[in-house]
């Protein structure tokens, strides 16, 4: 693993939380992610399954966790199954986890070879009544691939048709939404790497630079800090910033334009997700500054409302009402349009067409109850934006916020945000003052 070791106590705690939610005589099974093909004989680098990592810290392919809190034998209540190393694998793929290493990473006392899984599973199912199986139930998921979890579900239902099968995903959704202090610290490290990458990007930003050259600055800094890209970055200059999911990153940054940078580092599989908008020439025009300050006021207001107990629907609606007033002051909406506003047809939709934010953690769009309400321990992105295609102008600002009983904590407070600070940093690049 690239990142520093994580105390296994984190994963022990997560398994205890899940076990406490399982009804009597239950077994829960969680798989590693599949290794996905590219073309020919190529494969993508494996991306650890978030649920398995949340419960074990294991990042190795084909690993399986089995939890059975009521097993008669105490050493069968938690079992981790991993691939058995062999000479061929070692030569071609490198060393795999030994049982001792897997125990150290996960805190699971009983680690067995994957070849033992069918027998162990049969023993547990003869003893238990309910089987909790996992599936990707993310509300934005849209894939036709049948993952390892569903292949197992089909096999078990065929072989053991009289058991009661239950969904594990709702339990994991509620558990993963609330981050403990160790998880928040990992997100902070991801944010720190993102901040360093953005400062390095600023040092390279000038008229004529290509969007992909700015992307390269981010990749270099993230790699140096034992991190990787959390998602495909958006480096969108000029009118490209009005394309919400622009990822071509192949245009030239022109004098007088803005460049919108939506990027996050992933450290130890925990993600950051930030957006900043910078003037390519070093200073905002009066119009750019007016729109920028409006988005910044929106960000500040929305962060202040990121509090325990608010529903995501009400959180977003309050931002839409605030955005209506900002757009009215900018001359983008008329008083009549604001008067016709409704939750179903918000007046601001033309210039602010997306949501206000989402849960953040092991997923960039992390699992959490769909409408909240927000609880202490949630980490939320807050990302208002104004997009004016007819002016070739798009501005979005995004910070990551920890919800606490004492109020919101802006985890990105150290990442330059005020327009004057941005202009000062860009002026300092000529003197070599921007540090990573």
* pLDDT for 433 beyond 90: no
Q: Can you read off the two tokens belonging to residue 100?
A: 């001792």
Both 17 and 112 in one domain: the answer is yes
Q: Is the predicted pLDDT of residue 372 greater than 70, yes or no?
A: yes
157 or 41, greater pLDDT: 157
Q: Are residues 417 and 273 in the same domain?
A: yes
Do both 53 and 91 map to the same domain?
A: yes
Task: Please report the pLDDT score of residue 68 as a whole number.
Answer: 98
Q: What is the structure's pLDDT at 1?
A: 75
- CA nearest 235: which of 256, 255, 218? 218
The pLDDT of residue 435 is above 70: no
Number of domains in the chain: 2
Helix (H) or strand (E) holding 345: none
Residues 236 and 256 in one domain: yes
Q: Establish how many alpha carbons lie within 13 A of residue 278's alpha carbon, considering only the half-sphere containing its beta carbon.
A: 30
Range of the domain at 150: 9-176
Average pLDDT, the chain: 95
- pLDDT, tens digit (0-9, with 9 covering 90-100), for 302-326: 999 999 999 999 999 999 999 999 9
Residue 377: inside a domain, yes or no? Answer: yes
**pLDDT exceeds cutoff 80 at 190:** yes
Instruction: Please identify, among 176, 196, 228, the residue that sits at the C-terminal boundary of a domain.
Output: 176
Q: What pLDDT, on a 0 to 100 scale, did the predictor assign at position 4?
A: 94
- Strands 64-67 and 399-402: what pairing? unpaired
- Tell me how far apart the alpha carbons of residues 96 and 76 are, in angstroms, rounded to a whole number: 23
186 and 168 belong to one structural domain = no
- Flag whether 276 is in a domain: yes
Per the domain annotation, does 346 fall within a domain?
A: yes
Q: Grade residue 158 by pLDDT with cuts at 50, 70 and 90.
A: very high
436 located within any domain: no
In a domain, 206, yes or no: yes
Q: What is the pLDDT of residues 341-366, one digit of tens each?
A: 999 999 999 999 999 999 999 999 99
**Is residue 5 over pLDDT 60?**
yes
User: CA dihedral defined by 297, 303, 309, 310, rounded to 10 degrees?
Assistant: 40
pLDDT at 425: 94
**With 80 as the cut, is the pLDDT of residue 142 above it?**
no
Same domain, residue pair 415 and 375:
yes
What confidence category does residue 116 fall into, taking pLDDT thresholds of 50, 70 and 90? Answer: very high
So what's the pLDDT on residue 166?
97
Question: What was the pLDDT predicted at 430?
Answer: 58
- Of 154, 176, 198, the last residue of a domain is 176
Together in a domain, 95 and 159: yes
> Would you state the pLDDT for residue 141?
72
What confidence tens digit (pLDDT) does each residue in 78-114 have?
999 999 988 888 888 888 999 999 999 999 999 999 9
Q: What is the pLDDT of residue 47?
A: 84
Is 1 within the bounds of a domain? no
For residues 97 and 432, which has the higher predicted lDDT (pLDDT)? 97
Q: Which residue has the higher pLDDT, 274 or 431?
A: 274
Q: In 8-97, which residue ranges form alpha helices assigned H by DSSP?
A: 9-21, 50-56, 87-93
Does 417 reside within a domain? yes
Statement: residue 247 has pLDDT above 70: yes
- Is 90 exceeded by the pLDDT of residue 432? no
With cut-offs at 50, 70 and 90, classify the pLDDT of residue 431. low
Q: Which CATH number is 41's domain given? A: 3.40.350.10
Tell whether the model's pLDDT for residue 172 goes beyond 70: yes
Dist CA 335 CA 159 (whole Å):
65
CA distance 98 to 146: 29
Q: Is residue 207 part of a domain?
A: yes
Taking 90 as the threshold, does the pLDDT of residue 245 lie above it? yes
pLDDT at 208 over 90: yes
Same-domain pairing of 330 and 373: yes
Taking residues 16-36, report their average pLDDT.
94
Q: Does 376 share its domain with 257?
A: yes
Q: Quote the tokens at residue 356.
A: 């206000």
Q: What is the dihedral of CA 417, 418, 424, 426, to 10 degrees?
A: 40
In the chain, what is the straight-line distance between the N-terminal and C-terminal CA atoms, in Å?
24
Domain boundary among 159, 176, 193: 176
Q: Does residue 261 surpass a pLDDT of 90?
A: yes
**Are 119 and 44 in the same domain?**
yes
pLDDT of 45 strictly over 90: no
Same domain for 207 and 335? yes
Return the CATH number at 318. Answer: 3.90.230.10
In percent, the amount of the chain with pLDDT more than 90 equals: 87
**pLDDT at site 428:** 85
Length of the chain equals 436
Domain identity same for 43 and 24: yes
**pTM listed for this prediction:** 0.94
């Amino acid at each position: 693993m690239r990142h520093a070791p994580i105390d296994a106590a984190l994963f022990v705690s997560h398994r205890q939380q899940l076990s406490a939610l399982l009804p009597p005589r239950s077994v829960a099974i969680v798989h590693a992610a599949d290794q996905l093909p590219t073309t020919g004989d190529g494969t993508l680098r494996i991306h650890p399954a978030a649920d398995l990592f949340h419960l074990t810290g294991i990042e190795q392919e084909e690993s399986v966790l089995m939890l059975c809190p009521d097993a008669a034998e105490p050493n069968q209540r938690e079992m981790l199954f991993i691939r058995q190393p062999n000479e061929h694998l070692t030569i071609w793929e490198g060393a795999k986890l030994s049982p001792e290493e897997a125990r150290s990473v996960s805190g699971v006392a009983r680690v067995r070879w994957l070849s033992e899984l069918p027998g162990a599973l049969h023993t547990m199912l003869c003893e238990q009544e309910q089987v909790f199986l996992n599936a990707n139930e993310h509300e934005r998921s849209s894939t036709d691939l049948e993952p390892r979890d569903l292949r197992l579900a089909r096999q078990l239902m065929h072989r053991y048709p009289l058991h009661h099968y239950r969904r594990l995903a709702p339990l994991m959704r509620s558990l993963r939404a609330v981050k403990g202090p160790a998880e928040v610290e990992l997100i902070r490290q991801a944010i720190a790497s993102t901040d360093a990458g953005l400062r390095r990007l600023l040092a390279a930003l000038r008229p004529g630079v290509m969007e992909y050259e700015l992307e390269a600055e981010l990749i270099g800094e993230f790699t140096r800090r034992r991190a990787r890209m959390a998602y495909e970055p958006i480096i969108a200059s000029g009118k490209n910033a009005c394309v919400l999911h622009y990822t071509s990153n192949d245009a030239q940054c022109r004098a007088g334009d803005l460049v919108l940078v939506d990027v996050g580092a992933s450290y130890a599989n925990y993600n950051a997700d930030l957006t900043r908008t910078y003037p390519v020439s070093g200073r905002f025009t009066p119009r750019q500054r007016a729109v920028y300050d409006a988005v910044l006021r929106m960000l500040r207001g929305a962060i202040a409302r990121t509090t325990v107990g608010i529903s995501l629907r009400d959180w977003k609606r309050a931002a839409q009402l605030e955005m209506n007033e900002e757009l009215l002051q900018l001359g983008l909406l008329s008083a009549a349009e604001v008067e016709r506003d409704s939750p179903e047809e918000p007046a601001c939709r033309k210039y602010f067409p997306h949501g206000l934010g989402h849960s953040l953690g092991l997923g960039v769009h992390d699992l959490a109850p769909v409408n909240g309400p927000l609880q202490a321990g949630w980490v939320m992105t807050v990302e208002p934006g104004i997009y004016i295609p007819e002016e070739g102008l798009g501005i979005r600002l995004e910070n990551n916020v920890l919800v606490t009983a004492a109020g919101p904590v802006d985890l990105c407070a150290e990442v330059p945000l005020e327009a004057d600070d941005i202009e000062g940093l860009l002026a300092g690049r000529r003197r070599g003052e921007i540090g990573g």
